[in-house]
Amino acid sequence: MNENLFSSFITPVMMGLPIVIVIVMFPSIMFPSPNRLINNRLISIQQWLVQLTSKQMLAIHNQKGQTWALMLMSLILFIGSTNLLGLLPHSFTPTTQLSLNLGMAIPLWAGTVITGFRYKTKASLAHFLPQGTPLPLIPMLIIIETISLFIQPMALAVRLTANITAGHLLIHLIGGATLALMNISAATAMVTFMILILLTILEFAVALIQAYVFTLLVSLYLHDNT
Amino acid sequence: MPQLDTSTWSITILSMIITLFLMFQLKVSKYYFPEDPKPTLAATPKPVTPWEKKWTKIYFPLSLPL
């Protein structure tokens, strides 16, 4: 039972070839490149959505922070599309892999921190000590602030992994329960089926929300440091 | 938990780096947001023709040396 439950999270390998590369690259097919002056409806709708999102997300940044626009937009598109495609049955969701999320979180967070160190060294170091702390508390507070700084990338990665993994596990479990209950009592199976439908709607929301939260937090770390 | 099997981590991170930093950014960088068309005046400015300012001798063909 345990082995079956987690088997959808094993990195897919087909006959020794790591097809995880193809699976991670697959969502980019859903976004065709605009090649014409006036594009078709799909590309126009995607372009409009990206414009909407980027205006909302980059409003709080200054000139320096807005150079990250391309990075943040491709980040939210990648995470959102990967999460949504993972809701299809029997699909592999790359964002359930801690490796992928760590690989996204650590470089992006480190980029924001290093940017802050390079351009506003004093201000970024001053983040470690909030204003108006009493003198004896200073060493302890610096330790606490350092820990909270270094936990940011870990929290980013683990938040995304845990949310998507937990959602998929719940869908598996409740779907299995519905299937098992169908032979025993159809009414209870209907109840579990309704739970499954509500859960799937929640997972759609979670897929998009997690993408948004990830990108928003990266942009917040950027805002602190530019 | 299969996510903690570090043997597959390098290929996953590599494929993510290629997808996120190469493919998605190439696609999104081609998005084009044209500005709203600005209204301009229909009247064209008077063309500046500097050769009409001075009437020089060469315009009189009979005064040219033979």
Residue B29 confidence (pLDDT) = 92
Position A54 in a domain: yes
Question: Residue A156's CB: how many other CB atoms inside 10 A?
Answer: 22
ipTM for the predicted complex comes to 0.79
In this predicted model, what pLDDT tens digit does every residue of A89-128 receive, in sequence order? 888 898 999 999 999 999 988 988 888 888 888 877 777 7
CA distance A219 to A34: 26
Rg (CA), chain B: 34
The whole domain housing A203 covers 7-225
Least confident range from A82-91, A111-120, B35-44: namely B35-44
Do A126 and A223 contact (CB within 8 A), yes or no? Answer: no
Total count of domains within chain A: 1
In this predicted model, what pLDDT tens digit does every residue of A4-38 receive, in sequence order? 788 888 888 777 777 888 899 999 999 999 998 88
**Residue B11 touches partner A, C-beta closer than 8 Å:** yes
Confidence class of residue B51 from pLDDT cuts 50, 70 and 90?
low
Position A114 in a domain: yes
Position A1 in a domain: no
Contacting residues of B for A9, CB less than 8 Å apart: 1-3
Q: Which A residues in the span 155-194 are in contact with B, Cβ-Cβ below 8 Å?
A: 161, 165
CA distance A152 to chain B (A): 19
Across the interface, whether the CB atoms of A11 and B2 are under 8 A apart is answered yes
**Residue B37 touches partner A, C-beta closer than 8 Å:** no
Partner residue facing B28 (CB), from A7, A35, A73: A73
Whether the pLDDT of residue B31 is over 80: the answer is yes
CA distance A23 to A130: 45
Do A214 and A75 contact (CB within 8 A), yes or no? Answer: yes
Entry pTM: 0.83
**Counting one residue from A and one from B, how many pairs have CB atoms under 8 Å apart?**
98
